A = this chain, B = another copy of it.
């Protein structure tokens, strides 16, 4: 069974090795897949975006272990989410919000059964001591409700949604920046008028392209990206460098008259 890892552990330390070691100690046949360990430290929303953007590509019954956990050791709970096709193990801090927004039916269980923890439990590394062992036991056939009781009051944050601010204007937001410096917005196909311009940091962009190589070098353009969102990009350069922008930046989409 596939166990897919998405964390902010980084790849230079023992953290990833320890988590994988624990999984294999419990289920030596687990097929461990790294999604990424380079979520920026403590950026829960980046983790949520990244997980949402790829989890449906995995085979059914994949167990996702998603750990960005600034509250580790505090009273924040550890949870297991069961959806129609997948399992997710994560701290109860909203990390799974974007997954919940995609799923109609899901059940959340709190991880409380100490039988499935690794001892001694550290106060700072539940990735190794609680989340990884839970994933391994799940892949061995332990049922979700054996880990703890179902809960309904889990943490869930809303995704920022584009917002009409006038008849022809929509306020939207940059929600993610990828490795290439492409700026992912919260606009999807259904939010886009037939013809439009965006204004961001004093620059107007109205060229909508089908693919990268259509553009001139250093030209800013828009493109419907592979995660389903409108992106601001630049061919052979990085849009984030050209625009000097951060995640969370708001901007205006104007329908052309």
Which residues does A use to contact B, with CB under 8 Å?
A: 2, 4, 6, 9-22, 24-25, 28, 31-39, 41-42, 50-51, 53-59, 62, 70-74, 76, 122-125, 128-129, 178-180, 210-214, 223-227, 235-236
Contact = CB atoms under 8 A, between A and B. Distances in A.
**Copies of this protein chain in the complex:** 3
B236 A21 contact: no
A11 B211 CA distance: 22
B24 A123 contact: no
B28 A14 contact: no
Given A17-B36, A36-B12, A38-B11, A212 B6 contact: no
B33 A11 contact: no
Contacts of A180: 10, 41
B212 A73 contact: yes
10 contacts: A10-B180, A13-B179, A21-B33, A22-B57, A24-B33, A71-B212, A72-B213, A123-B211, A124-B212, A124-B224
B13 A50 contact: yes
Given A59-B25, A236-B70, A211 B124 contact: yes
A55 B13 CA distance: 12
Contact of A213 (B50, B70, B213, B223): B70
Contact of A123 (B13, B19, B22, B210): B210
